[in-house]
Amino acid sequence: MKFLILSSILALATAVSAFTGPATFLLPTGKAGTCGYAISSGDFAVALNPSDYASGAHCGKAISVTYMGNTITTIVQDECSSCGPHGIDLIARTWKAITETAAAPGITFLTEPGITVNLTWAFL
């Protein structure tokens, strides 16, 4: 019985902390983001929308990102001032890792400017 209650609490905590929102592709300039870290296209990094970024409270924190059954872990390194509620920008390497394996046959990965996918993410 105790196990069942604990499992239910953990499942509820996970459900509460997961967000679904739009994700966009970002090509970084190599300059420091709002967290103060230089960001390159080879980083596994994301930029959070202003609300979830919380004035930098989540800088350096790991998040899990899930798209079409594919989940990766990445790090918050910037704020996406143009992202809507629960939206995130995925740095090139992160975008490729999450979309390439989920893409339909014949599609390498989605990199066209302005492409948006809906995904789920959560703080770890």
The CATH number of residue 82's host domain is 2.40.40.10
Domain around 82: 19-123
At 6 the pLDDT is 43
Q: In whole numbers, what is the pLDDT of the chain averaged over residues?
A: 81
Closest CA to 122 of 5, 11, 14: 14
Report if residue 8 sits inside a domain. no
Q: In the predicted model, is pLDDT for residue 111 greater than 70?
A: no
Cα–Cα distance measured from residue 80 to residue 34, given in angstroms and rounded to the nearest whole number:
9
Q: Give rounded-to-5 percent helix, strand, coil for the chain.
A: 25, 35, 40
Report if residue 1 sits inside a domain. no
Report if residue 9 sits inside a domain. no
Q: In the predicted model, is pLDDT for residue 74 greater than 80?
A: yes
Question: Could you tell me if 76 and 41 are in contact, meaning their C-beta atoms sit under 8 angstroms apart?
Answer: no
Report if residue 7 sits inside a domain. no
Report if residue 77 sits inside a domain. yes
**Which pTM was predicted?**
0.77
| Total number of domains in the chain | 1
Report if residue 13 sits inside a domain. no
Report if residue 14 sits inside a domain. no
Closest CA to 54 of 35, 41, 69: 35
